[in-house]
Amino acid sequence: MEKIVILTGAGISAESGLATFRDEGGLWAAHRIEDVATPEAFERDPDLVHRFYNARRTQAARVAPNAAHRALARLQERHGGEVVLVTQNVDALHEAAGSRAVMHMHGTLAGALCARCEARWPAPLVMSTQDACPVCGAKATRPDIVWFGEMPHGMEAIWTHLEEADVFAAIGTSGNVYPAAAFAQHAGRAGAHTIELNLEASYNTRDFAETRLGRASQVVPEWVGAVLGD
């Protein structure tokens, strides 16, 4: 049975009510990346960075998965071959829809990290510079999110999954940020059929053999139904 590797981005969570990054009114329209999503920003103004992620954590706790998240969970459940789900998203909507073993390459809002000793623990809803690390006691706790300039998680395994994929699908991502924007080319070169499911053609649309445009809550269940043959 075919091995399917899937990459999701903010567009799959848009219809659940979470802002994307680069759409009209998206997160980067309201905040400069260099003010809230870099290690230098955290050094310079940790309170501002905590406020930005506290707002996103609080919002993410209020929303529910949509038909696209549920369709991917159904695909994992019903497809005979391996289904690997990699996400750039830091929300927990794939898990809430029933997906398992989700690879969060950019970290998660649910995680906290000590900038001093690198201990990890479940993040409280509201984090602050006054929090002490439960392991080393340093007041250096940060969101366990991969910021610009930092290495995404699980890249070794992800490159191997892409080389083994028979099908690679990118869903709800604009193809602006590397290394995720290189996944389609990497999988295609290794022989995978590549498909993008997105509201509009992504920045790297030329890397895909197939494109299905539309809202994720429509195009993803349709695509999963075609794969499962039901």
Contact between 173 and ligand APR per CB under 6 A = yes
Among 54, 99, 141, 202, binds ligand APR (CB under 6 A): 202
Contact between 167 and ligand APR per CB under 6 A = no
Contact between 212 and ligand APR per CB under 6 A = no
Contact between 3 and ligand APR per CB under 6 A = no
Contact between 176 and ligand APR per CB under 6 A = yes
| Residues taking part in catalysis | 106
Contact between 10 and ligand APR per CB under 6 A = yes
Contact between 97 and ligand APR per CB under 6 A = no
DSSP letters for the chain: ---EEEEE-THHHHTTT---SSSTT-HHHHS-HHHHSSHHHHHH-HHHHHHHHHHHHHHHTT----HHHHHHHHHHHH-SS-EEEEES--SSHHHHTT--S-EETTEEEEEEEETTT--EEEPPSS--TT---TTT--S-EEEEE--TTSPPTTHHHHHHHHHH-SEEEEES--S-STTGGGHHHHHHHTT-EEEEEESS--TTGGG-SEEEES-HHHHHHHHHHHHHT-
Among 16, 54, 174, 194, binds ligand APR (CB under 6 A): 174
Contact between 65 and ligand APR per CB under 6 A = no
CB-closest chain residue to ligand APR: 11
Among 119, 140, 177, 182, binds ligand APR (CB under 6 A): 177
Query: How far apart (Å, rounded) are the C-alpha atoms in residues 1 and 4?
Result: 9
Please, which residue, 133 or 227, has the CB nearer to ligand APR? 227
Contact between 14 and ligand APR per CB under 6 A = yes
Enumerate binding residues for ligand APR (CB under 6 A).
9-11, 14-15, 20-23, 26, 88, 106, 172-174, 176-177, 198-200, 202, 215-216
